[in-house]
Amino acid sequence: IRPLAEADPEVDQAIAQELIRQQSTLEMIASENFAPTAVMQAQGSVLTNKYAEGYPGKRYYGGCEHVDVIEQLAIDRLKSLFGAEYANVQPHSGAQANAAAMHALITPGDTIMGLNLAHGGHLTHGMRINFSGKLYNVVPYSVREDTHTIDMAEVERLAVENKPQLIVAGWSAYSRQLDFAEFRRIADLVGAYLMVDMAHFAGLVAAGLHPSPVPHAHIVTSTTHKTLGGPRGGVILTNDAEIAKKVNSAVFPGQQGGPLEHVVAAKAVAFKFASEPEFKERQVRVLEGAKILAQRFLQDDVAEAGISVVSGGTDVHLVLVDLRNSELNGQQGEDALHHIGITVNRNAVPFDPRPPMVSSGLRVGTPALAARGFGAAEFTEVADIIATALIAAAGDGTLGEDTAVELRARVTALAEQFPLYPHLGTAGSA
Ligand code: PLP
């Protein structure tokens, strides 16, 4: 019963520093969010002690009566949130959900198609040294060079030529909506399964602000910690009873042993929140914020620095800043923003001439700031701060000291206006 501060001051101190970092900077990594306190409480509960291999009502361990209630709540809430018949809430992560979904539907040596990693796809959609690239024969599809949107004609041509067993639709760095019906038409044409990985945009789907893949795909996977705003983890949905059975056995015992019931409880809480009107209102601000960023980054002063926006805008929670024609590279852009207290990640953009570790892009997302309470006025201010920083840094890759001081002060003012987790202590007192 010794508190962490006493039992392990080193870890406690690092957690306190991380709290200060989250409170005092502006988090704009598109895949991140701030979990509500109730979600963190469920995750930090006694459930972490419990083994519960199996599924509710069919466990391989005794004493599962309470975790059964919790896992069933998570399953029922998830099904109702997305209008799906079957749900598995046990995958420890998005990557594991994808591994289990593939394991359920196809066999090693089969052919899969996924969006090229360099064009916004995810590692688990067929990257060479990921399990997906090692187990399956991967045929990547791409975005068009003129529009930066997925080339559905190419998807169809590659599908007809390569007869994949599985087509994956989904992305980690893409700013437009996917045409799920068209993906399904192509999958049916060649007898492939369609898997949609909605990890990034699941929160928008839950809020009814993005088309749902559930009616179109054989299987839908997601993370629970991105736009959905829950604990770190994965889930799998399907409307097909046979596929649901295969998914359950692919997750356990196929991929995992004991589920993380403390995380499952936190997922249940997050799914409850995601069904409430406040969540929808927040996702409206997420989308509005991203559009405000894109509009600012398309203005003349930014264009004069050779900076633009991939696909010319956004329909989702992120903007991809295109630095291909700028002196500034992705690494320098990330560092310049970090210097003033804004956290983003550099990201390859389609047809990027620079190597991935440097890259010519920045992925800038709005979910975490919307969770903090940001609306149009604050996103307008943050968009201007970023634009000013990137223009200033485009000269020699660094910000002048005066600019840095001024921009950092504007960041601090925004952070202080929207305190994060105030009950956990504030930056000044932690
Ligand atoms: N799928 C997509 C589309 C993602 O963007 C990510 C994470 O970035 C994942 C899956 C993997 O999720 P995790 O990091 O929980 O394994």
Which pLDDT score, from 0 to 100, does residue 429 have?
Answer: 41
Instruction: Assess contact for 123 and 137: CB atoms under 8 A.
Output: no
Which pLDDT score, from 0 to 100, does residue 428 have?
Answer: 44
Tokens of 3: 């508190």
Q: How far is the CA of 400 from the centre of ligand 1 (A)?
A: 36
* pTM of this prediction exceeds 0.90: yes
For residue 177, the one-letter residue type is: Q
pLDDT, averaged per 10 consecutive residues of the chain (430 residues), comes to 95 96 98 98 98 98 98 98 98 98 98 96 95 97 96 98 98 98 98 98 98 98 98 98 98 97 98 98 98 98 97 98 97 96 97 96 98 98 98 88 96 97 68
Which pLDDT score, from 0 to 100, does residue 395 have?
Answer: 81
Is 323 annotated among the ligand-binding residues? Answer: no
Instruction: Assess contact for 359 and 348: CB atoms under 8 A.
Output: yes
Q: How far is the CA of 408 from the centre of ligand 1 (A)?
A: 31
pLDDT tens profile 374-390 = 999 999 999 999 999 99
Instruction: Assess contact for 243 and 221: CB atoms under 8 A.
Output: no
Q: Choose among 359, 349, 358, 342: nearest CA to 319.
A: 349
Distances (CA, A) of 283 to 203, 234, 268, 277: 7, 20, 19, 10
HSE value, Cβ hemisphere, 13 Å, CA-based, for 235: 36
User: Pocket residues for ligand 1 (CB within 6 Å)?
Assistant: 31, 93-95, 98, 122, 124, 170-172, 197, 199-200, 223, 234
Q: How far is the CA of 136 from the centre of ligand 1 (A)?
A: 19
Element (H, E) at 226: none
Which positions are annotated as active-site residues?
51, 53, 197, 223, 226, 232
Atom of ligand 1 at shortest range from CA of 93: 15
Strands in 146-239 per DSSP E = 166-170, 193-197, 219-223, 234-238
Is 123 annotated among the ligand-binding residues? Answer: yes
Candidates 122, 220, 227, 255: which one to mutate for ligand 1, based on the most atoms within 8 Å of Cβ? 122
Within 330-400, residue ranges assigned H as helices are 330-339, 367-372, 376-393
If 0-12 CB within 10 Å is exposed, 13-18 middle and 19+ buried, where does residue 110 land? middle
Which pLDDT score, from 0 to 100, does residue 426 have?
Answer: 64
Is 121 annotated among the ligand-binding residues? Answer: yes
Tokens of 229: 């705003």
Tokens of 167: 């087509």
Element (H, E) at 219: strand 219-223
Other CB atoms within 10 A of residue 231 CB: 23
State the DSSP code for 150: B
* CA distance linking residue 125 with residue 192, whole number of Å: 15
- CA torsion sign for 351, 353, 354, 359 is negative
Is 117 annotated among the ligand-binding residues? Answer: yes
For 239-261, b/e burial (b = at least 16 CB within 10 A) is beeebbebbbebbbeebbeebbb
Q: How far is the CA of 337 from the centre of ligand 1 (A)?
A: 24
**Helix/strand/coil for 233:** coil
For residue 371, the one-letter residue type is: A
Which pLDDT score, from 0 to 100, does residue 34 have?
Answer: 98
